[in-house]
Chains A and B, each alone.
Chain A
Amino acid sequence: MDNLLVAENIVKKYGDFTALNNISLSVPKGSIFGLLGPNGAGKTSFIRIINQITMPDSGFVSLDGKPLEQNHVKDIGYLPEERGLYKSMKVGEQALYLAQLKGLSKTEAKDRLKYWFDRLEIGDWWNKKVQELSKGMAQKIQFVVTVLHKPKLLIFDEPFSGFDPINANLIKDEILKLRDDGATIIFSTHRMESVEELCDHIALIDKSNKILDGKLIDIKKEFKSNTFEVGVNTTNELAFRNVLEHKFKVTPATFKSIHDDVKVNIQIDATSTPNELLSFLTNEGQVNHFTEVIPSASDIFIQSIQNN
């Protein structure tokens, strides 16, 4: 698969503090790429380098095969975490100005803004001043301004903060649609459920180093612990538990069930198969529930950070 953005050996220091230590990342074309990490890990530093807000001390970034240059500004749309609008300017005026800074002509910007304002049903805000808008309303305008110039690469830093669930869903659908239309998206967030929902690739940065990178599904495979969540209905619970604990690593499980089951998580050796476990269990009683425990993005995040 082609990569839209390639960063090689990026180093960024602020005085004695190293913000990015030799980070290399490849963002595949058409993917939604989750850039994750705890606060202060270096995500924003990295994003700022892609946006050419700051320059790396060493390393190389290319966009669509070409070294990053000033002209790439029009190919990138960036919604920073710390964002705002000029308070005393009118919404339409302001959106036009920001679009022009991204290289759109005035008439083109106007047409596209009309389209987006109608689409998000905010057409009547055109002549309002930003200070009259609620936070969520202002966020919508910022979103429109970010995507207006149809950039190849979109960078969203916590895009859902400040939105109510309805609008958050609306924006989520818009992001997915932008991906389907061909845009590549870098998505930075602490909300793991949206990573789960949206991202197909992730990279994890901690303490200025990349500690994890790849397709989400591959990473999940890597992090799986061969653990199965089972619910078994047996007549002799005590004996069953004894046998289990003797043979496997067992931890209690909680899940909803209409049966009066023994609920446990069972971890098997990497050498044995789920089928072997299942056939063992069917001998012990009625198996009502059998699922593999798939590590969530949140689990992976916490586990990686703790191990680092």
Chain B
Amino acid sequence: MNHLPLITKREYLNKVKNKSFIIMTFVSPLIMVALGLLIGFLTNLNKNKERIIDVVDESGYAKEIFSDTISTTKYRILNNIDLAQARIDVEEKEHYGLLYIPKVTDVSQLSEKITFYSKETPSVIMIEGLESKIAKKITDVNFKIKGLDIEKIKNARIQVNINQESYTGEKTSKLSGKLKLVFGMVSGYLLFMFIIIYGNMIMRSVIEEKTSRIIEVIISSVKPMQLMLGKIFGTSLAGVTQFVIWVLVIGFLTIILSFVFNIDMSQMQGGQQDILENVVKNDEVGDIIVNGMYELSQLPIANLIAMFLLFFIGGFLLYSSLYAAIGAAVDNETDTQQFMMPIMVPLILAVYVGGFTVLEAPHGTVAQVFSFIPFTSPVVMLMRIPFGVPMWQQILSVIILFATFIGMVWFAAKIYRVGILMYGKKPSYKEIYKWLKY
């Protein structure tokens, strides 16, 4: 008798009808959107606060340097005051800081001589911004001194964009590289989140069957393997349901809110805006969007989606059978801690390898190896695929993943079969190893 559909249905309905599940499903997106708004609000609050930086200038270049300031930081050039007095004044007035430009015989000497005084250490971003601003201006000054025509130099400047093309003729660009990165990161983190949230849910539902003592009644009717798979499938479906609702609700709320408050969501990036302003002019933004759409259409969408689904399903099933085994081995949730390590270590490793190594060298040895190890491959391979992984590698990795999943289900079912009937004591790894031989 195959009871898998029946068990899956019960697990699904039981999860979906659960009050706290329903509440979480609809409240979490609200909280997330509210949090997003709060962060945006706070960064804006910070940004709109006017910063005053006083400048003691002995060189005479300050006027030139700070002539066209558009950011919220105000530079006030102090006259007729020496550095020592200025430091005391500025500290008293609680201005953001004091910039000291000493007198130099040659403008090039300024490269090492400028000092910024402040109460707290300023952010690296702010200092780097200031450095590049000053460098740009005094370089221009230097050009003039050296008798070079700035306009000519500007016109002579050449920007290089290297066209990228693979031997098979596929064209790529830096922009598409970024898109690929985003796809990889999003899918990797999505899987990571999914495993942690719904893996735990599976574990709890196994523990619940143990603590409510219904387990022996159930497994006198069905095979433990069927029960375990039914739990995994039912909970996964509930998870997908919840995830889809989250995406829909968040999307809906975001659209509504951006109409209501007329908030430009891109502004939420806050502090980085200052730097971007210098790099990207407005008309270029439009270009990027158009190019982006084009690059997006150039990505192997069908391949990506197919592989995303395969790795997502395979990865989740692999980990969730481990969660189920842990749930079976213990009596209550507090005892699960000691067994979480074997789950968390490969998972975190996968995200780190995916986040760092794959970025640097998508086809390097490390990235390649980890994209075949089944515990890391779902995350790492998903991040690699957009950069072009040969089909045989993708298929091999999927096969390894699903083969391991089947092996893991067998292994987990052994622990499960024995564990669900064990009450009252916290098992050690050694004991679990013994169960495998029962």
Tell me the A residues contacting B by CB distance below 8 Å.
14-15, 48, 51-54, 70-71, 73-74, 76, 78-80, 82-89, 97-98, 100-103, 142, 145
The answer for the CA separation of A94 and B221 in the assembled complex, in Å, is: 14
The answer for the CA separation of A79 and B1 in the assembled complex, in Å, is: 21
Whether the Cβ atoms of B3 and A101 lie closer than 8 Å is yes
Closest 7 CB pairs of A and B: A84-B213, A101-B221, A80-B216, A84-B212, A51-B220, A78-B220, A84-B214
Categorize the interface residue count of chain B. Answer: 20 to 34
20 A-B pairs, CB-CB below 8 angstroms? A15-B434, A52-B220, A53-B220, A53-B421, A70-B1, A71-B1, A73-B220, A73-B221, A74-B1, A76-B220, A79-B217, A80-B220, A83-B213, A86-B209, A86-B212, A86-B214, A98-B218, A101-B3, A102-B221, A103-B1
Task: Determine the chain A residues whose CB is within 8 A of the CB of B220 once the complex forms.
Answer: 51-53, 73, 76, 78, 80
Asked if B438 is an interface residue, CB under 8 A from chain A, the answer is yes
Q: B219's contact among A53, A76, A102, A103, by CB below 8 Å, is which?
A: A53
The answer for the CA separation of A157 and B359 in the assembled complex, in Å, is: 61
CB of A17, distance to nearest CB on chain B (Å): 10
Whether the Cβ atoms of B212 and A97 lie closer than 8 Å is no
CB of A94, distance to nearest CB on chain B (Å): 9
Whether the Cβ atoms of B423 and A97 lie closer than 8 Å is no
Tell me the B residues contacting A by CB distance below 8 Å.
1, 3, 6-7, 10, 14, 18, 208-209, 212-214, 216-223, 417, 421, 423, 434, 437-438
Q: B6's contact among A82, A100, A145, by CB below 8 Å, is which?
A: A100
CB of B226, distance to nearest CB on chain A (Å): 10
Q: A101's contact among B6, B14, B437, B438, by CB below 8 Å, is which?
A: B6
Chain A residue nearest to B211 in the complex (CB): A84
The answer for the CA separation of A101 and B214 in the assembled complex, in Å, is: 13
Q: A98's contact among B217, B417, B434, B437, by CB below 8 Å, is which?
A: B217
Task: Determine the chain A residues whose CB is within 8 A of the CB of B218 once the complex forms.
Answer: 98, 101
Whether the Cβ atoms of B18 and A80 lie closer than 8 Å is no
Task: Determine the chain B residues whose CB is within 8 A of the CB of A79 once the complex forms.
Answer: 217
The answer for the CA separation of A154 and B3 in the assembled complex, in Å, is: 22
Whether the Cβ atoms of A142 and B217 lie closer than 8 Å is yes
Whether the Cβ atoms of A14 and B221 lie closer than 8 Å is no
Task: Determine the chain B residues whose CB is within 8 A of the CB of A145 once the complex forms.
Answer: 217
Q: With A88-B14, A97-B6, A101-B3 in contact, do A82 and B219 touch (Cβ < 8 Å)?
A: no
Other A-B contacts than A86-B209, A142-B217, 8 sampled, CB-CB below 8 A, are A53-B421, A82-B213, A83-B214, A84-B212, A84-B214, A86-B14, A98-B218, A102-B221
Chain B residue nearest to A106 in the complex (CB): B6
CB of B230, distance to nearest CB on chain A (Å): 10
Task: Determine the chain A residues whose CB is within 8 A of the CB of B214 once the complex forms.
Answer: 83-86
Chain A residue nearest to B6 in the complex (CB): A100
Task: Determine the chain B residues whose CB is within 8 A of the CB of A98 once the complex forms.
Answer: 217-218, 221
Task: Determine the chain A residues whose CB is within 8 A of the CB of B1 once the complex forms.
Answer: 70-71, 73-74, 103
CB of A19, distance to nearest CB on chain B (Å): 10
Task: Determine the chain A residues whose CB is within 8 A of the CB of B216 once the complex forms.
Answer: 53, 78, 80, 82-83
CB of B269, distance to nearest CB on chain A (Å): 44
Whether the Cβ atoms of B217 and A89 lie closer than 8 Å is no
Task: Determine the chain B residues whose CB is within 8 A of the CB of A15 once the complex forms.
Answer: 434, 437-438
Whether the Cβ atoms of A87 and B221 lie closer than 8 Å is no
CB of A210, distance to nearest CB on chain B (Å): 22
Chain A residue nearest to B18 in the complex (CB): A88
Task: Determine the chain A residues whose CB is within 8 A of the CB of B219 once the complex forms.
Answer: 53
Chain A residue nearest to B214 in the complex (CB): A84
